Amino acid sequence: MRLRVLPKGQVPDLVRALMADYRVWGPKAKGPQFAFEPLYDPAEMRLDYNISILSPKVALQPPQERVAVFRMDGGFTVEPVVEAEPTVIFGMHTCDLHALALLDRAFSADFPDAHYTERRQQALIVSIECLQPCDEHSFCKSMGTWTADSGYDLHLIDLGDAYAVYVGTEAGEALLAKYAPQARPAADAEVRRLNEVMSAKWPRFPHRLNFDAAELPALLATAYDHPIWTELGDRCLSCGSCTNVCPTCYCFNVIDSPELSLKEAVRLRRWDSCQLDEFARVASGENFREARAARQRHRMFRKGKWLYERFGELGCVGCGRCIRACLTHINIVDTFNAIHASQHRR
């Protein structure tokens, strides 16, 4: 893999140059926290952010988007709306990068979803290595997502006064050549510095899962009727925050809304959550996941088993966002650990 070095002082120039040709998304301060948003000024970007409230998937699957427009006039016509533009997502952490790999599979499997895939094709990813855990809730080390050797076009590692830049793709190489010609091959000293930085990183990250994440699907297979689901169900508010912040959740609702004139209508899709009461309810009133316990189990099984079986990737990348967002402290790591402990006690 090609390695370059970019002095830190030149990052704002790079971002500014990119902004001329791309929509550039990056981490920005939002109160005491951070959010991925389009950048309008390179100075807004905070590459020192710990974690963003919503994952950067917002750039590829927005919370709400139009998917079609109907024009009515006696009969009607349908116009698909696929909105994509050249985009750079700057400063993505590696947990979110791994999540992206799963979204890529989910949206391109079987029936490719152009709303996602078109945006994805036009998006370049500049990720950045976390040198310390974002906070006490992350467990990326346990999920093997605390670093990445692919999935990005460019990947930054903070060397102090410069960034080491791994070039992951030809598109990344071209981007660097065009927008950051100052980037140069790494000198020996810089490679040594990079190795030091990376070896200092490992011990800073704790393992939070008490077992190998690869065991998760098999572990959950034994835990369908585990009492912990009732316990979580009793505590859960069904607020949907855990799924809305999750980088691998992609469920949605489809909603049609007419204009007042009834001459036009839009079809929207909006993030939806399996934690909400009505998610699996049908018109006859039957609700196929009525109990909060069943909905919690569904979420955690989707993360630890079902998506893995379908796409070969675990549905949890250990970012810890669901834990931070949950006001009743429902904690996916503690849950998996508790199941593991109880299944191995006997």
276 contacts another protein (rule: CB under 8 A): yes
189 contacts ligand FAD (rule: CB under 6 A): no
Compare residues 21 and 48 and give the one whose CB is closer to ligand SF4: 48
319 binds, among ligand SF4, another protein, ligand FAD, none (CB under 5 to 8 A by kind): ligand SF4
344 contacts another protein (rule: CB under 8 A): no
133 binds, among ligand SF4, another protein, ligand FAD, none (CB under 5 to 8 A by kind): ligand SF4
What is the spatial distance between Cα 176 and Cα 197, in angstroms, rounded to a whole number? 23
Which string of x and - marks every residue 280-299 that binds ligand FAD (by CB under 6 A)?
A: --xx----------------
Beta-carbon contacts of 336 under 8 Å, excluding residues fewer than 6 positions away, are: 209, 216, 219, 300, 304
Q: Which of residues 248-287 bind ligand SF4 (CB under 6 A)?
A: 248, 275
How many other C-beta atoms lie within 10 A of the C-beta of residue 83?
Answer: 11
Least spacing, CB of residue 179 vs ligand SF4, in Å: 25
105 contacts another protein (rule: CB under 8 A): no
Compare residues 53 and 280 and give the one whose CB is closer to ligand FAD: 280
Burial 244-271 (b: 16+ CB within 10 A, else e): bbbbbbbebeeeeeeeeeeeebebbbeb
Beta-carbon contacts of 202 under 8 Å, excluding residues fewer than 6 positions away, are: none
How many other C-beta atoms lie within 10 A of the C-beta of residue 241?
Answer: 17
What is the spatial distance between Cα 83 and Cα 79, in angstroms, rounded to a whole number? 12
Least spacing, CB of residue 143 vs ligand FAD, in Å: 34
23 contacts another protein (rule: CB under 8 A): no
Which string of x and - marks every residue 167-186 that binds ligand SF4 (by CB under 6 A)?
A: --------------------
Compare residues 142 and 335 and give the one whose CB is closer to another protein: 335
Q: Which of residues 123-182 bind another protein (CB under 8 A)?
A: none
109 contacts another protein (rule: CB under 8 A): yes
In three-state form (DSSP H/G/I as H, E/B as E, the rest C), the secondary structure along 21-79 is: HCEEEEEEEECCEEEEEECCCHHHECCCCCCECCCHHHHCCCCEEEEEEEEEECEEEEE
Q: Which of residues 325-344 bind ligand SF4 (CB under 6 A)?
A: 325-326, 328, 330, 332
319 contacts ligand SF4 (rule: CB under 6 A): yes
Least spacing, CB of residue 288 vs ligand SF4, in Å: 18
Distances (CA, A) of 6 to 30, 71, 124, 161, 163: 27, 51, 18, 9, 5
**Distance from first CA to last CA of the chain, Å, rounded?**
48
Whether 39 contacts 19, CB under 8 Å: yes
DSSP state of 151: S
Residue ranges in contact with ligand SF4 by CB under 6 A: 51, 93-95, 130, 133-134, 138, 140, 145-146, 236-242, 245-248, 275, 303, 316-322, 325-326, 328, 330, 332
